[in-house]
A and B are shown apart, each in its own frame.
Chain A
Amino acid sequence: MQFFHNLHIDFLSKRKIFYVVSSVLIIIGLSVFFTKGITLGIDFAGGTELLVRFHDNIHIDDVRSAMDQTGIVGAEIKTMGSEKDILIRTAEPGEGTTVSDKIKDALSKNISGNSFEVLRIDKVGPKIGKELRVSAIYATLFSLIAILIYLAFRFEFLYALGAVLGLFHDVLITLGMIAIFHVIFPNLNLELNQGMVAAFLTLIGFSVNDTVIVFDRIRENIKLYKNEDIVSVMNKSINTTLSRTVITSGTVFLTIFILLLFGGEVNRTFAFTFTVGVVTGTYSSIYVASAFVVDMKMFQQKRKLKVPGKVAAYKA
């Protein structure tokens, strides 16, 4: 069995169209991200979060009124997966863990005839939340820089730059997609937490794989086809590695999609982020990383051609 045999698709000639597509997607995604925002998870926002499982199905309004009666107002209350599992989150300040005790009291006092079990309690102080936010940003930037340095050693600097540009593209698109999905399907309970940061870093590592494999082939083919121009060598390389790219992305997509479907709430954000990342990562190795290198190479060549002309002009 073979999906792609003797392909000769001219990927790179259409790159300008996809520049536009990517830019539009990023702009839409980021404007949704910045206007609607996405929920900051407990890890980064701080506060208290309880996941409780009731014995029977329960209505969210009942939980809310139970909470209101004890004076914890403005708590975020939502179902997690089933009508029995309720997530309560509040930014209510309180020494130690007094808040979670108060919530538990409120539930047991004001909801009768439906016993509950506390599945999880998270309390994150504001200081920790801030520290985690900062270190998440550092971690993402460090990863990008580390990859830039590594690739600059292994390939030309221009290629490394292209690859990292592709990664930026992936992170931005994924972030935008999360924001859009969060608005359309609030029930997915997507939120920016440590799991999402983990997904971003893993996606950076995965997405650069695709790019590296294409570049690896380009490096090889440049020596083989010395007389052909850069666009045709690159197209050839993309075509020959396409089969592998699709298969690997396919198997990874398959596994992560299974995790998204069956992995439960805790891994949901991770799985969703990575699912989007696999698609954009595959796409960006062709239409961002390779395309950028092509355009830069062509730009350099043009300048090289122009320079002698200028020198000649001076001489004259």
Chain B
Amino acid sequence: MKKNRFRILLTVLFLGLSLYFLYPTYKDHQFNQEISKLTNAQDSAAFFDKYSNDVLKARENRIKLGLDLQGGMYVIMEVDIAKLLSDLSKKQDDILKQALEATSEQVKTSDEDFVDLFETKLKEKGLSLKAYYGEIRDDDSKIKKDLKTEVENAIDRAIQVVRNRIDQYGVSEPVIQKKGSSRLVVELPGVSNVQEVRKLLQGTALLEFKLVIDPQIAIKVMEKINTYLAGGNLDSLVKADSLEKITKLDSLKKDTSKTTKTEIKKDSTSITSKKDTTKKDITKKDTSKKNVTKKDTLKQDSNLTGLTDSNGNPIDTNQQMSEEEFKKKNPWFYLIHPQQYKDGSVVWFVKETDKAKVLKILEKKEVQDIVPTDISFSFSNRSQFMDAGEKIYQFYILKKDPELTGGVVVNARSNIDPTSNSPVVYMEMNSDGSADWARITGANINKQIAIVLDNVVYSAPVVRNKITGGNSQIEGMANIQEAKLLEIVLKAGALPAPLSIIEERTVGPSLGEDSIQKGLYSSVIALILVALFMIVYYHFAGGVADLALIFNMLFVMGIMASFHATLTLPGIAALILTIGMAVDSNVLIYERIREELAGGKPLRTAIEIGYKKAFSAILDTHLTSLITAVILYQFGTGPIQGFALTLIIGLIANLFTAIIITRIIFDIMTDKGRTQINFG
């Protein structure tokens, strides 16, 4: 009895857990039905306003559907190593071209490393790697090692570029994975515009250096948008602009509830010429350091914003407007929170959930009409900090035309500055770029220049001095990871990692729906038929096995939901197969019990012996099936892995449901004095 109590406890626990993990899937289904009922845009907007958190949460925790079921794109891309090596080479001649072509051809049918093969090809032509790569002092093995590292780095850059773009494109739950040393797997659920995505994935990364617009001008632009959105009088604002009324600053603080919790950290990076130990440039660096710390200490209580509301009156937060009121009067500043610092600079912040809204507003023609044509907007690459559990992004107002593009960057390297022990990134430019860079930095001292990759701002260092010679040093990053990321970004512009698509699978949404329906249909029929058979053949005991079967299905789905495993179409096939195989354990046990009963054993003993004797066979069958399922998981890709995984979970769950749950029922019955149980 004690043993039974533990088993019952375990069963109830598993059942509870399964239901708990399956609840979001049920909730998600319910929401989807409600949403499909909503007909007009107003209703759905109201619905999302009310339930958006619940909907998102349910969606996040439901059973994930594979691309074959919900539609989407699956792409494997490979770094074009030949192109990369050609780009890296000191000179491009015919011999190099021939050697690269020959290597590309051979690598298709060989498992050897590209760089190794390339070296032998060059040797066949009587040349060594040294002819094209490395310094004169370097030996071949070092050059080869460096080239291999370059290939490895290229894939990291490619991942960064691709992730950056996909994030901007706004795909929910994308998967971006490195596979092997030169491949990249991208899964984009729900994407149907194949051409657009392909362009997104394969285009060369665009690195730009853009000037951050002067805060005073930025404020005016933002106010115009605010006035327009609030339905205010644009004419009066334009007039106000021309009279430069706006420049009159009042100290104010908006929406206290929002900002008090927020600890604002401005982008504190700065850019200087690269320190050469032979030159005594240290003093300059010291001043820049001091500057950084001064800014860091600025807290939000020193915020000064010179903003006017939609009626042209200065926003006065002392008035303590309610959130609703503020939202109504200042729809734009409700989305984009400004922070001003004592030195006059203004930083704009946007909550992650508001990013899409902001972009939508900026796309509006009417808004574009009132925004100066030489201005562009960008977000920061990552959230600067969290506020009340929400990620906050910085919003940049930039000069549209870039000062320089990334092509001039020759190299970038992140490091820890030995003198200050802080992370630093060195950037090197070619001679053309260096001349421009000197002019640009000279003209913009103490202003910010944003480093923009594919329209996302990765850093906006303040220029400390005129940088001649093309060697710059960027400092002020919080940690070495941040510096490393900046290095990747700078290199992405300098040395693009050319990607080619080697596998692409797209499933349209209607095929997925079709498949789900057919899969569900087959599963239900299979379940009913098998369950009926068990009752017909084993009578009462068959019903017990059916109960175990239902528990099995519940557990499999529950485990899949809890692991965030993906259900694929072959996965449904595995589920159906599990239905067929799950009753096997019970059949084995029941056949044994029947034998024992026929041999004249009393019920209790027969059950005991039946379970005991069947166990070794059950264990063997499950283990051999598990062996093949695990190997299949290793071998397969995407959907097939889904099949193997579902099968593995099904087999493990079955060991529990078929042996333990059925036993509980029989034990309770015999404990209560039953001497007859119908085994058919």
Taking beta carbons and an 8 Å cutoff, which residues of B are in contact with A? 68, 76, 108-109, 194-195, 198, 202, 500-508, 510-511, 514-515, 518-519, 521-522, 525-526, 529-530, 533, 536-539, 569-570, 572-573, 576-577, 579-581, 583-584, 587-588, 591, 594-595, 613, 616-617, 620-621, 623-629, 631-632, 634-637, 639-640, 643-644, 647, 680
Contacts and interface: CB of A to CB of B under 8 A. Distances in A.
B156 to A, nearest CB: 22
Contacts of B108: 126-127, 130
Given A53-B510, A205-B624, A244 B632 contact: no
A123 B74 CA distance: 10
B627 A194 contact: no
Interface string A155-174: 00000000000000000000
A72 interface: no
A252 to B, nearest CB: 4
B522 A119 contact: no
Interface of A: 1-2, 51, 53, 95-97, 100-101, 117-128, 130, 132, 135-136, 138-139, 142-143, 146-147, 150-151, 154, 194-195, 197-198, 201-202, 204-206, 208-209, 212-213, 216-217, 220, 240-241, 243-244, 247-248, 250-256, 258-259, 261-264, 266-267, 270-271, 274
12 contacts: A96-B500, A120-B505, A130-B109, A143-B627, A150-B627, A194-B636, A197-B632, A198-B636, A201-B632, A206-B581, A250-B533, A266-B569
A248 B620 contact: no
Contact of A195 (B501, B580, B640): B640
B617 A194 contact: no
B194 A139 contact: no
A95 B521 CA distance: 40
Contact of B522 (A97, A127, A262): A262
Contact of B521 (A122, A250, A262): A262
Given A125-B502, A139-B634, A195-B640, A258 B576 contact: yes
Given A205-B625, A208-B624, A251-B580, A121 B526 contact: no
A97 B632 contact: no
Given A119-B511, A209-B584, A202 B647 contact: yes
Nearest to A146: B627
A209 B622 CA distance: 8
B506 A258 contact: no
B537 A247 contact: yes
B510 A117 contact: yes
Contact of B635 (A127, A147, A197, A208): A197
Contacts of A213: 588, 617, 620-621
Nearest to A213: B617
A183 to B, nearest CB: 25
Nearest to A151: B624
A61 B594 CA distance: 62
Contacts of A204: 628
Nearest to B624: A208
A147 B580 CA distance: 22
Nearest to B573: A267
B501 A123 contact: yes
B569 A1 contact: no
Contacts of B639: 194
A258 B525 contact: yes
A170 B354 CA distance: 59
B132 to A, nearest CB: 25
A121 B194 CA distance: 10
A7 B639 CA distance: 44
Contact of A205 (B508, B514, B628): B628
A240 to B, nearest CB: 7
B620 A154 contact: yes
Given A128-B502, A258-B522, A259-B576, A96 B198 contact: yes
Contacts of B573: 259, 263, 267, 270-271
A150 B503 CA distance: 37
A254 B504 contact: no
Most buried by A among B198, B573, B576, B628: B628
Contacts of B68: 266
Contacts of A125: 501-503
A46 B511 CA distance: 22
B518 A263 contact: yes
Residue with the highest number of chain B CB atoms closer than 10 Å, among A101, A123, A143, A252: A252
**What 9 A-B pairs are tightest by C-beta distance, nearest first?**
A255-B580, A205-B628, A139-B635, A125-B502, A252-B580, A205-B625, A119-B511, A209-B621, A255-B526
Contact of A202 (B514, B587, B591, B629): B629
B620 A128 contact: no
Contacts of B536: 1
A124 B625 contact: no
A248 B584 contact: yes
Contacts of A138: 635
Contacts of A247: 537, 587, 591
Contacts of B202: 96
A14 to B, nearest CB: 24
Given A204-B628, A240-B595, A251-B530, A198 B644 contact: yes
Given A95-B500, A123-B504, 5 more contacts: A127-B502, A206-B581, A247-B537, A248-B583, A251-B533
Contacts of A205: 624-629
A192 to B, nearest CB: 14
B628 A248 contact: no
Contact of B631 (A122, A143, A267): A143
Contacts of A264: 514-515, 518-519
A274 B580 CA distance: 12
B631 A258 contact: no
A123 B522 contact: no
Contacts of B506: 118, 120-122
B267 to A, nearest CB: 38
Given A194-B640, A204-B628, A266-B569, A123 B508 contact: no
Contact of A201 (B505, B511, B621, B628): B628
Nearest to B578: A255
A45 to B, nearest CB: 13
B505 A123 contact: yes
A115 to B, nearest CB: 13
B616 A216 contact: yes
A258 B502 contact: no
A198 B538 CA distance: 32
A206 B616 CA distance: 16
Nearest to A240: B595
Contacts of B637: 132, 194
Contacts of A201: 628-629, 631-632, 635
Contacts of B620: 154, 209, 212-213, 216
Contacts of B504: 96-97, 121-123
Most buried by B among A202, A204, A254: A202
A255 B595 CA distance: 27
Contacts of B570: 195, 198, 267, 270
A220 B68 CA distance: 47
Given A255-B580, A256-B577, A121 B617 contact: no
Contact of B515 (A53, A96, A241, A266): A266
A212 B569 CA distance: 30
A78 to B, nearest CB: 17
Contact of A147 (B584, B624, B632): B624
A54 to B, nearest CB: 13
A119 B202 CA distance: 23
Given A136-B635, A198-B640, A216-B616, A263 B522 contact: yes
Contact of A252 (B501, B515, B577): B577
Given A254-B530, A256-B576, A198 B643 contact: yes
B623 A146 contact: no
A135 B194 contact: no
Nearest to B538: A1
Contacts of B625: 202, 205-206, 208-209
A259 B632 contact: no
